[in-house]
Amino acid sequence: MKTNDKSTVAEPEQLDQLDPLEEAMRRALRELGEDPDREGLKETPQRVAKSLRFLTSGYRQDVKKVLNGAVYSVAYDQMVIVKDIEIFSLCEHHMLPFFGRCHVAYVPTEKVIGLSKIPRLVDVFARRLQIQERLTTEIAETIMETIKPQGVGVIIEAKHLCMIMRGVEKQNSVAVTSSMLGIFRDCDQTRSEFLRLVKQRS
């Protein structure tokens, strides 16, 4: 005989899955010896999950869509440089932030990129779990592939909290990485001009 036991039927709200990232943060807090239900921490798992999704939003962005709507044919063959772009990223080894400035230059052949898109491109790659060396290379190679300029130069200067807060604990250390492609690698004059413009403060 079949019974109509309504107590076994899940209510719609019971079917909703808890955010796995929030649950992971609750477990992490417990492992650290904290109580995730105490007043100061009740909203922390949600806040951390939201922050991490923002700081890794580059995984969910299409670089081609970011750039291709702002590529223009222009008769210009001199250096284009966008410098002092603020960057914030997460070190993939410790998931601690590194932050600093990025300088991007290229010498076009037939096409240029809308100036505002270069910082957007930097953000796409910075908002991922990164190492500074790869971040530098990805920015340079993407510009090279997109508009095929005579060359691209990218320099990043950054402080790493994994070196400041832990490990060697060197508060004043700055990591500098560069990627020089095409004319920036092959021509001393072009590379020197880029380095001079980067050092020149507004």
| Residues catalogued as catalytic | 91-94, 132, 160, 162
Which stretches within 69-199 are classed as H helix? 117-126, 132-147, 161-164, 183-186, 188-199
| CB of 62 closer than 8 Å to CB of 131 | no
Rounded to the nearest 5°, which phi and psi values hold at 71?
-110, 125
Residues forming beta bridges with residue 103, ordered by sequence position: 155
The number of beta carbons lying within 10 Å of the beta carbon of residue 27 is 12
Q: Cα(129)–Cα(139) distance, rounded to whole angstroms?
A: 15
| CB of 82 closer than 8 Å to CB of 70 | no
Nearest to 102 by CA among 121, 83, 118, 77: 83
